[in-house]
Every structure is written in structure tokens, then in C-alpha cells.
């Protein structure tokens, strides 16, 4: 892989206080936060926990999927002193083929609620306020980002 290939920002999150979720794609241009159905099921969550939502999420290339419902889950960013937990409203959908490599798409709403003060694609980091003038940092999982790029190179912009 060339050094100048843009990798996706892929992080790891703790969701619902006890599930470590890998392959979380950070996409600030997404207007919603998405939890894919396969990850929802692996987390042991029940469909009865979903709140109804009759919507259709459209992707960049005109294709889209119906929303199964939404669920609000505590989501923890960072480790140790960098830790910050917020409530995220995830819209649960079946995975479209081009997104099947991810478990979650973290969009603008969560980044706003996190109070992200800087997203760096050069460093593949998210910086966010944790109070008292302190800034927490989440670094992308570079190995997973490379694997995601290799699995679906046309997806990365």
C-alpha cells in the first residue's frame, strides 16, 4: 500500500458499558450514527429494545436501506484519563455491501455530543473536551484501518 493512500478513521469503542466494538468508521459527514444489525445481534441486544422509526437511510451513491429502529446506548471513548461516556442514538440497519466491513458508523451527532474539538486524518485521531480544560484523545486503530482499506479500497475517499 502506498504511503499516500488515505485510510479511513477506524476506532474502537465501548458500547453499553460492556461491549468492545471494533471497526467503528468515523464519518463526520454522516447525519446519523449507525449500528449495523449484525453488530446489534452480536451485542446480545433484543429487537424489542428498538424504538420504532420508519425511515430510509440513503448512502452517497443513491442506494440505501430501511431503518429497523433506533436505540440509545452509552458509548465510551478513550481509555484511562481520556475516558468520556456519552449517550448515542444509533439507527439500526442491515449492512449495505460496501459498508459490511464496519460495525458502526459514527457520524456528526455523536461527534457533536462528544464535543470533538479536532479530527485529524493526518494523525487519525479525535480530540475531545473532557472538562476542566483537558482534552482526551482517541487514536485510530491503524492495523484495522489498513485491513478495512484492503477489504474495500473503492469505499475510501
* pLDDT single digits (tens) 41-66: 999 999 999 999 888 777 654 567 88
pLDDT tens profile 71-94: 999 999 998 988 999 999 999 998
Q: What is the CATH number of domain 10-151?
A: 2.40.70.10
Say whether pLDDT at 95 is over 80: no
Say whether pLDDT at 23 is over 60: yes
Which pLDDT belongs to residue 2?
42
The whole-number average pLDDT for the span 33-41 is 93
Kindly give, in sequence order, each residue whose CB lies less than 8 Å from that of residue 42, ignoring residues fewer than 6 positions away: none
Which pLDDT belongs to residue 123?
86
Q: CB neighbours (10 Å) of residue 100?
A: 13
Say whether pLDDT at 146 is over 90: no
Instruction: Say whether 69 sits in a helix, a strand or coil.
Output: strand
Q: Where are the domains of the chain?
A: 10-151
For 132: left if phi > 0, alpha if psi spans -120 to 50, otherwise beta; the answer is left
Average pLDDT, the chain: 85
Amino acid at each position: 500500500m502506498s504511503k499516500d493512500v488515505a485510510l479511513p478513521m477506524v476506532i474502537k469503542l465501548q458500547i453499553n458499558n460492556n461491549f468492545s466494538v471494533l471497526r467503528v468508521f468515523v464519518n463526520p459527514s454522516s447525519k446519523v450514527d449507525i449500528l449495523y444489525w449484525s453488530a446489534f445481534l452480536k451485542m446480545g441486544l433484543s429487537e424489542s429494545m428498538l424504538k420504532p422509526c420508519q425511515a430510509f437511510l440513503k448512502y452517497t451513491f443513491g442506494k440505501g436501506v430501511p431503518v429497523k429502529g433506533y436505540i440509545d446506548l452509552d458509548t465510551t471513548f478513550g481509555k484511562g484519563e481520556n475516558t468520556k461516556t456519552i449517550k448515542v442514538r444509533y439507527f439500526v440497519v442491515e449492512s449495505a455491501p460496501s459498508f459490511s466491513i464496519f460495525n458502526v458508523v459514527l457520524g456528526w451527532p455523536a461527534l457533536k455530543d462528544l464535543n470533538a474539538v479536532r479530527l485529524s486524518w493526518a494523525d487519525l485521531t479525535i480530540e475531545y473536551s473532557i472538562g476542566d480544560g483537558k482534552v482526551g484523545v482517541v487514536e485510530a486503530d491503524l492495523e484495522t484501518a489498513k485491513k478495512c482499506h484492503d477489504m474495500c479500497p473503492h469505499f475510501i475517499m
